Structure 1
Amino acid sequence: MTTAEDTVLAYWDACEARDWPRVAALVADEVVYHLPQTRERIRGRSAFLRFNQEYPGDWHVTVTRVAGAGPRAATWITCTVDGADQPAVSFFDLDDAGRIAGITEFWPEPYEPPAGREHLVERYAPATPG
């Protein structure tokens, strides 16, 4: 029996390989992709595949962490677009057939922390691909 984590890792592997038929097999016909920060929603397998196929730039995905329970999984990824790293967190919901039916993805922008807590924190450099 395939777990949600296995399905999501297969999805990211297929995305990285640009194996669109494999991505299509992993997502439900009526998949819904949510991007809350830009208030965008993409409905349906065909539109979802086209969105990814037409995404500009030379992009690559590295999975940092995956966790799942039942029909849900979450990933922390680094997407490298034209040499610039951008972290993302994705939440996946699988349908009864084990296909990805919903994805909600957050693409946070780094920012400087507020002043006054320097004595409590340790700052570190951004991760480098490797």
Structure 2
Amino acid sequence: MGQAARLSCTSTGLAWLMTMSDEQAAALVLKQGIGQPKEFGLDAPTTLKALAGFLHAARVRDYAMIDEVFAPRMSAVAAPVVSGSSSVGVISLAGARARLTVEKIHEYSVLLREAANELTQLSTMAGFPARPRLGKG
């Protein structure tokens, strides 16, 4: 979309980070830099504490969601695809906030999590190897 996506400001980034410990997630976000509201949406987390709140909520729900975090008037939902103990992918749905309301996000999250779970099962059955985490050689 013409700009770099920050892990801290995207539903896909948050879905991936939610599969890690807070310390691992913070290390990756600090390496990349925390997105700021002037660059992204009004509700972009600006501190590690705020990021931890997003991640905690995502873990409780079992999916990540954003509402005016990546861009003004944009919402998104994402679920990780896990193989073993690592996330090997993420699937997401994004759209205009006027159409992808918070209520719709919760509704669609059921289908998204079902799809992510199916992909998890298929990747496990296929012996899909977990990739090394970003930043490790």
Report the TM-score, using the length of structure 1 for normalisation.
0.34
Higher helix share: 2
Which protein is bigger by CA-based radius of gyration? 1
| TM value normalised by structure 2 | 0.33
Richer in strand (by share): 1
